Chains A and B, each alone.
Chain A
Amino acid sequence: MKDIFIFNNGRLKRTDSTIQFIDADGKKKTIPIVQVENIHLFGEIDMNTSFLNLLTQQGVVLHTYNYYGYYSGSFIPRSKQVSGYIDVRQASHILDPQKRIFIARQFIYGAVHHMLKNIRQHKDGSEVYINTIESVRVNIENAKTIPELMGMEGNIRKIYFQSFNHMIKNEFFHFVKREKRPPKDPINALISFGNSIMYTTVLSELYKTQLNPTMSFLHEPSVKRYSLSLDLAEIFKPLIIDGLIVSLINNRVMKSNHFEYIESEICLLNDEGRKIFLKAYEEKLSKTIKHRTLKRQTSYRFLIRLECYKLIKHIIGDTTYKPLKAWW
């Protein structure tokens, strides 16, 4: 099972119950559908309903990205995993402030654990960051409201991002401050691109479970966005994306020529840069580790799904939710 990324313009077609991609020059390529998990469209692609029906049949999720590589939308097969019971339970955990903050706090504990893990990998001189983060972490327990909790998380993340300069051994990727809309330097461009890919991965996994992706705990559940995927991504962003960014830069895989500037201000990854990043990302997701309770090899991608299952178990009152804390 793998993801397919389409950067060229062309047409996606259904032929013989499988996927065919015809690029602008008319070159055809058949993709075995059984092996495809998600399709990501970065180029301008035409398709029709019979193709979309095929995706529904096989449960393949389609994500689209705009010109700048930001996530813009998804085509998701009619959800077969619906459960009114889970929906109601999930809502009840949001409506009760006590229950909601419990889950929200767990997400942050998971995120902070992975941030510290990243910082610790670069030993000398990192104690300052670790100590400051630890001092904020003890206060998480005392946070009474969600905004208060979000504030603490923001503080931690700020310190964490400062430690990036310590981890990255390349002046070109010097981190000044986090700028999202739009990213103005290469490091911010990398983080933004990585995060938007992470959200879609989590969303694809969420759709395979019975959770409702719009009902979130840490982020305010709102209209027009799948905020539960933002919640869960908090845990995985430092674990998967940030580690990847640091290693790509330090191993000199990501270079200055993989970025482009628009209107001399907005910094973005170009196609080549995106391909390098996505290739490394896919490799990382399919990497496996031995799970301690399941006692078998589990891929990083499956760990995301397991996180959803743990959340379900918590909201139906089976076992209390404990966030993933990488033990390896």
Chain B
Amino acid sequence: MFVIITYDVGEKRVGKVHKILKKYLQWTQNSVFEGEIKEGKLKECLGELMPIVNKVYDSLYVYKVSNPKNIKKIIYGVEKDFEEMFL
């Protein structure tokens, strides 16, 4: 399953959320992560995030795409961080 997670959280929590998400997904833009992930791992990730985000002020969006073939990504400008098999 392909997911895109975007978040808008208070300044104090930005770093914490970023730190957790970067274990699971590829960082593509400020406050945006995306990548291929299994259902269970996504739950694990959200479980780690939930105690941190403040449900009154913050928001966290998860876009799920069940068939990764249905995504067409067009990039204008600089591509920040891309997935690679070879380094």
Q: Which residue numbers of A lie inside 8 Å of B, CB to CB?
A: 1-8, 10, 16-18, 21, 23, 29-30, 32-35, 275, 278-279, 282
Task: Please determine whether B85 and A282 come into contact, CB atoms closer than 8 angstroms.
Answer: yes
Partner of B24, one of A6, A7, A34, A282: A34
Task: Give Cα A279 to B41, complex, Å.
Answer: 25
Task: Please determine whether A35 and B35 come into contact, CB atoms closer than 8 angstroms.
Answer: yes
Task: Please determine whether A32 and B87 come into contact, CB atoms closer than 8 angstroms.
Answer: no
Task: Please determine whether B23 and A32 come into contact, CB atoms closer than 8 angstroms.
Answer: yes
Task: Please determine whether A30 and B85 come into contact, CB atoms closer than 8 angstroms.
Answer: no
- B25 interface contact, C-beta 8 A: yes
Q: Which of B68-87 contact A (CB under 8 A)?
A: 81, 84-87
> In the assembled complex, how far is the CB of residue A177 from the closest CB belonging to chain B, in whole angstroms?
32
Partner of B87, one of A29, A35, A279: A29
Interface size on B, residues (CB 8 A): 18
Task: Please determine whether A35 and B36 come into contact, CB atoms closer than 8 angstroms.
Answer: yes
Partner of A275, one of B25, B37, B86: B86
Task: Please determine whether A32 and B22 come into contact, CB atoms closer than 8 angstroms.
Answer: yes
Task: Give Cα A35 to B86, complex, Å.
Answer: 14
Task: Please determine whether B19 and A16 come into contact, CB atoms closer than 8 angstroms.
Answer: yes
Task: Please determine whether A5 and B87 come into contact, CB atoms closer than 8 angstroms.
Answer: yes
Task: Please determine whether B87 and A33 come into contact, CB atoms closer than 8 angstroms.
Answer: no
List the 6 closest pairs (A to B, CB-CB), nearest first: A6-B87, A18-B23, A16-B19, A34-B24, A5-B86, A21-B87
- B6 interface contact, C-beta 8 A: no
Task: Please determine whether A35 and B24 come into contact, CB atoms closer than 8 angstroms.
Answer: yes
Q: Which residue numbers of B lie inside 8 Å of A, CB to CB?
A: 19, 22-27, 35-38, 41, 45, 81, 84-87
Task: Please determine whether B37 and A23 come into contact, CB atoms closer than 8 angstroms.
Answer: no
Known A5-B85, A6-B87, A278-B86; 15 more pairs at CB < 8 Å: A3-B85, A4-B87, A5-B86, A7-B86, A8-B87, A23-B87, A29-B87, A30-B27, A32-B22, A32-B25, A32-B35, A34-B37, A35-B36, A275-B86, A279-B85
> In the assembled complex, how far is the CB of residue B85 from the closest CB belonging to chain A, in whole angstroms?
6
Could you name 20 residue pairs across A and B whose Cβ atoms are closer than 8 Å? A4-B86, A5-B85, A5-B86, A16-B23, A17-B23, A18-B22, A23-B87, A29-B81, A29-B84, A30-B22, A30-B27, A32-B23, A32-B26, A33-B23, A35-B35, A35-B36, A35-B37, A275-B86, A278-B86, A282-B85
Task: Please determine whether B23 and A2 come into contact, CB atoms closer than 8 angstroms.
Answer: no
Task: Please determine whether B85 and A4 come into contact, CB atoms closer than 8 angstroms.
Answer: yes
- For B84, list chain A residues within 8 Å (CB): 29
- For B35, list chain A residues within 8 Å (CB): 32, 35
- For B37, list chain A residues within 8 Å (CB): 34-35
- For B38, list chain A residues within 8 Å (CB): 1
Which of A8, A32, A33, A275 has the largest count of B CB atoms less than 10 A from its CB?
A: A32
